[in-house]
Amino acid sequence: MNLRKNIQKDSIKIIIPSDFIYLKIIEDVFWEFLKINKLLQKIKADEILLAIVEGVVNAIKHGNNNDLKQDVSFFLFLEKKYLNIIIKDKGKGFNLKDLKDPTKGKNLTNKNGRGIFIMKNFMDKVNYNFSSDGTELHMRKEIL
């Protein structure tokens, strides 16, 4: 696939089945999007990519329960001085209050539960919207 041809200057939306093998496509799209928009020197790309991967993994695993019939949508766009990311799955969502700080006490040895924590640390804004259509994760990072 010629990614450059398929990416609009300031936005891209792709839909993948709920399988981790498709993460590579999202990663390739992300790097190409940064190159096209000359953002490589203006943001901490590695950290944003990690936040994206954590968001997509959660969408596939927890949102869609690895059901290949359920899609995950990934939307990347620029708005003023911000890089915005929206990740959608078909899941019912969860209670944000149930999330535990993985760096405290017994949680330190939990083998899961670090994804959202990483996202919150590497992005300026992380919000979840839950509706009957599914779950939307919104993340935003200021471009320096």
Q: Using alpha carbons only, what angle is made at residue 125 by residues 121 and 126, rounded to the nearest 5 degrees?
A: 80
Distance of CA 23 to the CA centre of its chain: 10
Regarding 100 and contact with another protein (CB under 8 A), the answer is no
Could you tell me the smallest distance in angstroms from the CB atom of residue 60 to another protein? 9
Site for another protein in 51-80 (CB under 8 A): 53-54, 57
β-bridge partners, 138? 86, 127
Q: Which is nearer to another protein, 38 or 111 (CB)?
A: 111
Distance of CA 136 to the CA centre of its chain: 10
Q: Which residues here bind another protein, judged by CB under 8 A? A: 20-21, 23-24, 27, 46-47, 50, 53-54, 57, 102-104, 108-112, 114-115, 117-118, 121
